[in-house]
Amino acid sequence: AQSVTQLGSHVSVSEGALVLLRCNYSSSVPPYLFWYVQYPNQGLQLLLKYTTGATLVKGINGFEAEFKKSETSFHLTKPSAHMSDAAEYFCAVSAPNFNKFYFGSGTKLNVKP
């Protein structure tokens, strides 16, 4: 079975500050892990994904995430927040030969000027 837990439904940071959005997963097989972003009135867009290989994954808009198997985590970070980063972020898990993606409940990021 697979599941995702996102700690913190709302996160607020100041512009220029570090962004850290937490994601922990549960999977009975080696996982594929994803972060999606949803802007108001838009569809979810892929930020980055981990399938195999390097555990530090870089995505669009300066975001990156690190797969830590020992901690079953895939936290999303960005060194310096921008006002345009304000959105809702979803972590998701899948696995080889699975046709389902399991999403977390989302974290809304607010960026203060």
In the complex, the residues that contact other proteins under the rule CB under 8 A are 4, 6, 9, 32, 36, 41-46, 49, 51, 90, 92, 94-106
CB of 84 to other proteins, least distance (A): 19
The smaller minimum CB distance to other proteins, of residues 9 and 110, is found at: 9
Give the CA dihedral 6, 12, 15, 18, nearest 10 degrees.
Answer: -40
The smaller minimum CB distance to other proteins, of residues 33 and 81, is found at: 33
Q: How many CB atoms lie within 10 A of CB 77?
A: 14
CB of 46 to other proteins, least distance (A): 5
Question: Shortest CA distance to 93 belongs to which of 83, 103, 84?
Answer: 103
CB of 99 to other proteins, least distance (A): 5
The smaller minimum CB distance to other proteins, of residues 42 and 70, is found at: 42
The smaller minimum CB distance to other proteins, of residues 84 and 97, is found at: 97
| Side-chain-side CA neighbours of residue 66 (13 Å) | 6
**Which position has the token pair 């108001």?**
40
Question: Shortest CA distance to 23 belongs to which of 81, 79, 97, 102?
Answer: 102
CB of 38 to other proteins, least distance (A): 8
Amino acid identity at 78: K
